[in-house]
């Protein structure tokens, strides 16, 4: 099965089950390697997640994976928090973290040769988002962005 289709199928299967537990499926990745396949599931909730919550979510995900048989080879399941520097994937993530510092990595270089930006997230809508960097507003469309992560400020 194609990697992106597998990830889409996993998202569709796991999201409702995790939402029933009061959890958000932040991200997931399936990595195949000679050392073994790994399914990483990143979960969160407003009050955060701890080891006990991850263990419960892992049991639920394991049950679903056994029932649906979506992956036809052996794999290791890892369920964890996305961490303090979590990725922003969905529009609701962008809206939730307006005012936060983010690191943006674009797919293509800008005319100035730049691919990385760090600034304050100031707005987001269906087509893209904007950050404030050095008192300038820089706008991005989601299609031109490789990744966006929160930046931990200490």
pLDDT tens digits for 108-139?
A: 988 888 999 999 999 999 999 999 999 999 99
**Structure token digits, residue 111:** 């005319």
pTM, 2 dp = 0.79
Residue 145 has pLDDT above 60, yes or no: yes
Model confidence at 5, in pLDDT bands (50, 70, 90)? confident
Distances (CA, A) of 53 to 20, 62, 66, 83, 90: 13, 14, 20, 14, 22
Instruction: Tokens 């932040």: give the residue.
Output: 26
Q: Where in the chain is the domain with CATH 3.30.300.70?
A: 3-80
89 vs 2 pLDDT, higher one: 89
Per-residue pLDDT, 103:
97
Which residue has better confidence, 83 or 142?
142
Return the closest-CA partner of residue 105 out of 133, 56, 146: 146
Question: What is the fold of 91-150?
Answer: SH3 type barrels. (2.30.30)
Place of tokens 């009050």: 47
Q: Looking at the predicted structure, is the pLDDT value of residue 1 above 60?
A: no
Predicted confidence at residue 101, as pLDDT, reads 97
Give per-residue pLDDT as tens, 15-72: 999 999 999 999 998 888 777 889 999 999 988 899 999 999 999 999 999 888 888 7
Q: For domain 3-80, which architecture applies?
A: 2-Layer Sandwich (3.30)
In the chain, residues under CATH classification 2.30.30.100 are 91-150
For residue 80, the SS3 value is: strand
Under the banding of pLDDT at 50, 70 and 90, the label for residue 2 is low
Q: Given its phi and psi angles, is residue 75 left (phi above 0), alpha (psi -120 to 50 degrees) or beta?
A: beta
pLDDT category at 4 given cuts 50, 70, 90 is: confident
């Amino acid at each position: 099965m194609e990697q992106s289709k597998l990830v889409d199928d996993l998202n569709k299967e796991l999201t409702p089950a995790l939402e029933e537990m009061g959890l958000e499926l932040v991200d997931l990745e399936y990595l195949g390697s000679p050392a073994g396949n790994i399914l990483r599931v990143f979960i969160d909730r407003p009050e955060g997640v701890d080891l006990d919550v991850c263990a419960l979510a892992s049991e639920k995900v394991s049950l679903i994976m056994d029932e649906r048989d979506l992956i036809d080879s052996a794999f290791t399941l890892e369920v964890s928090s996305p961490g303090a520097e979590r990725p922003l994937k969905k529009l609701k993530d962008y809206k939730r973290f307006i005012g936060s510092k983010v690191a943006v990595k674009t797919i293509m270089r800008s005319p100035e040769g730049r691919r990385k930006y760090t600034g304050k997230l100031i707005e987001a809508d269906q087509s893209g988002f904007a950050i404030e960097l050095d008192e300038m507003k820089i706008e991005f469309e989601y299609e031109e962005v490789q990744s966006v992560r929160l930046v931990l400020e200490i």
